[in-house]
Structures are given as C-alpha cells and as structure tokens.
Amino acid sequence: MAKFSRVKSPETKEIHIEGFRGIDLRNAPYNVAEGRSPYCPNMIRETKGVNKKRYGYQTITEYDGRINGAHILKGEEEKLLIHAGTKIYEGETVLYEGAGDHFSISRQVRGKLYILDGLNYLVYDGTEVKKVSEDAYIPTIIIARLHNGGGETLEPVNLIQPKRIERFTGDNTNKTFQLTATNIDDDEVTIRSLQTNGTFSDLVEGTDFTVNRTLGTFTLNAVAQTPVVGEDNLYVTYSKTVAGYADRIALCDMSILYGLNGERNIMIVTGNPALVHYDWYSKADDPTYFGDIWYSVVGQDSSKIINYAIINDKLATLKDDKGTDSTIIRSFEYTDGRLVLTSKGSFQAGGALGKYSFASFDNEPLYLTVEKNISAITPSDVLGERFSQERSYYISTALAKEENLEEGYAVVFEGFYMIAVGDKIYILDSYQPVYEKNTPYSNRQYECYLWEGIGARMLFVHDDYLHFGTNDGKVKRFYNDSDAKYRDDEELFPCWFDTFEIYGTSMELKKTFKHIAVLLASYIRTGCRIWFKIDGIWELFFDYDETANFLDFSDIDFSKFTFRTDDTPTVVGGKMKIKKVLHTQIRFENSKDEAFGLYGAVLKYTDGGEYIK
C-alpha cells in the first residue's frame, strides 16, 4: 500500500502594531519607527500609546476683516475682545475703530488690558477701548525750581503723551517764571497754587496768568510767595510734544511683563520698525508711563528683537541673528538710584524667526528659529548653561517648506504646543518626550502631530476651548469632550493613520499577508476602513461596518442601530490575502462624522520564497 508524506504548512507569523505615537515627516516610510506614522492627518494623542481623531470645529462669529488678535480680560467674568481688520469688537459691538490691520498682542495689568497693534497703544478697562495717551500718567519732571531756573530733576518725560508738571517756589518778588522747555504746545497751561491752609486753588490762563509759548515762560498777575518755607507752591502743567516720542511705543507690536526679583509688573515693549534693536519699559504697575530714558539698546542694529522668554527669573531677549547676538540675558537692577535692565551676558541659540511662535511647556520656552525648526531654551547637560535645542525633529523638514513660516502663530493647549501655519496646525506633545539618536546635540524631542484643512491665521484659548481666527474674518472653535463632534462647519474631514513599511522578520522573503485584526477604542459610534499599500497603490480591504458600535439609549442613531451593548474596545478586521509581496503598509481610516481611536493591531502572514529580481 502506498504511503503519503504530509506537507508541512508554512508557519504563520504575527506582527503586533501597538504603542501608537506621532507623525514622522522626516524619514521615508521604511525608516519610520514602529508605532510612529509617516502620515496621520488630523489625529492626536488620547493617552500615551493611543491615538484618536481630533474634534471638528464650528464658526461662532464672523467679522469684517481678517482676525488679528483675541484679547481676554480676566476677572470675576472673562471678557473677550476680537481684533478684526481695523476694528476691535466685544461680541458684535465695535469698541474701537482705527486699529492697525496687523497681529495684536495684549497684557493684563491691574484689571486692564494693554494692547499693541503695531499702530496704536490701547487700553481696555472692561467697558471701553481707547488710546492709552488719553489718560496716561503725567510725570513731575522737576521740583524746587526758581523763577529763573534750577531745581531738582524728579521724573523723566512720558513718551506716551506730551504733558508734564514742573513745580516752582514763589519768592514774593518775581512774577515771570522760566519753564525747562521752549516752544511749548498750544494746549492749555494750568497752575495749581498752594494756599496757607494747605489746599490748592486753580489759576486760569488768561485770567490769573499769561503764557509766552515761544519763550516757555508764564507770568502771574500777582506775586506768589510759598506759604511753607522750602515747599513748592506753584504746580504748572503744560504740554511739549517731541516728534517721534509717542510712536516709539505705539508702533511696537510685542510685549512682555517682567520685573524686579521675579515680579511681573513692568511692561516691556519692542517691535518698532525704525528701532529694531531697542526696547522700552514702563513704570512698575503702571503701563501708562514710559519714561523717555527707560530704554535699552540690545545688541547690534543688524538684528532685530523678535520676542522674549523668562528663564529662572531672567529675561531672555531673542533676536533674529544666528550668532552671539541672538539671545541676550538681562535683569532689572538699581543703578544710580533708578531701575535699569542690565545685561548678564548672552548664550548660543538659534535666531528667532516667528515673533508669534513663542509659547512654553512649563519652564521650557519654545519658538520658531531661523533654521525653520521649533527649538527650546534649555540648560546644557554638560556646562549647566543655557542653549537652544531643536524639539521638532519629526516635522522640521515639512515646516521648512511652508510659505510665510515667520507668521506662524502658537499657543499651548492641554499639554500640546500648537502652531498654525498656512492651512495646517503642527503639534508637539509635551506628554511624550522621546530621545532621538539622530540628533546628538538636541536628542530630546517631542512626538508630533499634524492637522490639515484648518486655515487658522491665529490661535487662542478661551473658556477651555481651543479657538482660531481666519483670514476671512471668522472666529471658529474646536469642540471638546463635552460636545464632541467630528465635522468642520458641517464638512467631513479626512483622518487616518498610516503604519511604517512592514517587512516582517525578513526583508528578502516574499510574504503572504492573510489576516488583520484592529482594536478600536470604545465609542457609541465608530468604525474603521483598512487599506493596504501593494506595489505602491493603496487598496481597500475592509470598509466601514457597525460591528464596533454599541447601544446607548441616551444617544441613538437609527441609521446605525445595533443591539450590541458591550462598551469595551472592539476588534474589527478579518481574513484577507495579499500574495507574494516583500512589504506592505496599512492605513487605518475614519473620515466619517464619528469618533475614532486606535489601541493596536495584529497582522498575520507567512513567508514564501526569496525575492528574485
């Protein structure tokens, strides 16, 4: 009787895909690390190792003019201002017209918002927006002045507005007094005269005294003796406009709050296009007063100040130069009795590119550099000094190709650094630091993500929602966990995760892929399309179905009705066959109006013969 030998079946092998991470736009798909994706548009980290689909957004308001800024006054009730075109709105009400059609920035001090728009210096008190100059501090520039001069300098002139006060001591003999300025403005001159009872009376120009504006003198109708020996009795207020003074502040478009010994109560401003390496600082707790001698010249005029960061209570001033002038460290100190920003040296850093790209993870400031990457200011592990190091290794090559990258606008939201560039948002995840061996001088990186089709000109956070403004005047808001939706203004958006290029255990053996199982996050409505890339072409193997849905009587969609009540993560997929290929890629897609999250996948295959060309 004939005997037949049994042919042994090829061994089935498994590839486990788990620990999902971010996008890698730098490396080719065959060189992308397991768990990372060469392309995963519109996904985001849910928890470490699990990615999910981003939420959609909705338009909440629309204005006439591109969105240049969003300014939030915090207090018992948050108030939101929107700068659109040349107007500033609260809701639909126009509070100010004539703003610069330019990105604007604001800082809150003592219950008021101080706004710079590159054309004006404005203040919002919770009711109205007006120029700071309308109610700015009036300095007393000199005291103990006699009729013919002298006196003691007290405060510097305020750059913001032309008024100043001079205090004189009357001598019961002279009626004419010389101001420190000549050719004074035509604005009214006022005098307050100290009386014997300690009160002041107001003298009226033309009635109680006359003024020669060309000579800078005023003449009393009657002599005035001080009632208190050694005390000034004439407080004279007048205006003297100095050309260009007001514009030194008004034309700035960047600011930061900094102060002495770690306080944040002095406004520092920069960005004047005529004085690119200058900045100016205000009186403590009073941003309406910028003394004309309170300024710094920072480095060379060949590079401009871009923005600031506070590091260990020191002020890092970042410029657009690549050399030693790129980042200068300063702090406030008292010198000759006045507060001065004093240089403490500089450190090596990538020159700053985008002034609105600055945002921080805790104590790690991030910003766009002239090398077109996102870098952090961080201590050197060797010297304990400060340097800037790249943090965007996985997306830097894509960033470098973006047009108008210098206009990138960043915020930090829920642990993510998000920067809007063109129609995209590039994202760094602070919860997922990684150590990349290919960047020996800045090996600490962050996992990255990419959202597409957004069209944000600027980003802001309000009421725990991420918002953005557009070039066509719309303010839009992303949904969050409380109102989760997956449409962008009623339009569906694409979302998928491509795997790395899969070769299995051997690069040279042909393979037959025959089964796929994908573990999806649990949602009331979810699903997954599964694609495979074969010989360079994506082919659909599994379309959406309702097997991953579960029944929840609080949210029923009869078009996707199911009797399944198991609300745990669900496996989809099944048998399939791709024969005699060396490698493949898998795409997990959900571009429907529903949630989508990936926990893991298992791909089964068998090896075949060696590849022969």
Contact predicate 271/116, CB 8 Å: yes
Pairing mode of beta strands 278-281, 87-90: unpaired
> Residue 565's pLDDT is what?
46
Share of the chain above pLDDT 70, in %: 92
Distance from C-alpha of 291 to C-alpha of 539, rounded to nearest angstrom: 69
> Residue 556's pLDDT is what?
40
Sheet bearing 327-335, strands edge to edge: 305-311, 314-319, 327-335, 338-346
Helix (H, G, I), strand (E, B) or coil at 327: strand
Using only C-alpha atoms, the chain has a radius of gyration, in whole angstroms, of 33
Supply the DSSP symbol for 284. Answer: T
Residue 398 neighbours by CB under 8 Å, 6+ apart = 25, 426, 450
Pairing mode of beta strands 474-478, 57-62: antiparallel
Express each pLDDT in 530-584 by its tens digit: 999 999 999 999 997 765 544 343 444 544 434 344 556 789 999 999 998 999 9
> Residue 612's pLDDT is what?
61
Share of the chain above pLDDT 90, in %: 78
As separate numbers, helices (DSSP H) first and strands (DSSP E) second, the chain gives 2, 47
CA 488 from chain centre, in angstroms, equals 23
Question: What is the H or E stretch that residue 398 is in?
Answer: helix 396-400
According to DSSP H, which parts of 202-256 are helical? 245-250
CA 19 from chain centre, in angstroms, equals 30
Strand partners, 339: 334
Cα–Cα distances (Å) from 355 to 318, 405, 546, in that order, read 9, 11, 48
CA 578 from chain centre, in angstroms, equals 47
> Residue 550's pLDDT is what?
41
Residue written as token pair 């100043």 = 164
Residue written as token pair 């304990």 = 384
At residue 230, what is the residue type? G
At residue 28, what is the residue type? A
Which domains does the chain possess? Answer: 12-53+493-610 (2.60.120), 163-239 (2.60.40)
CB atoms within 10 A of CB 516: 24
Residue 567 neighbours by CB under 8 Å, 6+ apart = 522, 550, 552
> Residue 262's pLDDT is what?
81
Distance from C-alpha of 41 to C-alpha of 354, rounded to nearest angstrom: 24
Question: What is the H or E stretch that residue 459 is in?
Answer: strand 458-462
Helix (H, G, I), strand (E, B) or coil at 424: strand
Residues (pLDDT < 70) of the chain are 1-9, 322-325, 379-386, 440-442, 546-568, 611-613
At residue 103, what is the residue type? F
Helix (H, G, I), strand (E, B) or coil at 578: strand
Which tokens is 158 given? 């305020």
Residue 12 neighbours by CB under 8 Å, 6+ apart = 514, 604, 605, 606
Question: Residue 29: what are its φ and ψ, rounded to 5°?
Answer: -55, -35
Cα–Cα distances (Å) from 326 to 69, 297, 377, 469, in that order, read 27, 14, 12, 31
Distance from C-alpha of 184 to C-alpha of 215, rounded to nearest angstrom: 8
Question: Residue 481: what are its φ and ψ, rounded to 5°?
Answer: -60, -30
At residue 212, what is the residue type? N
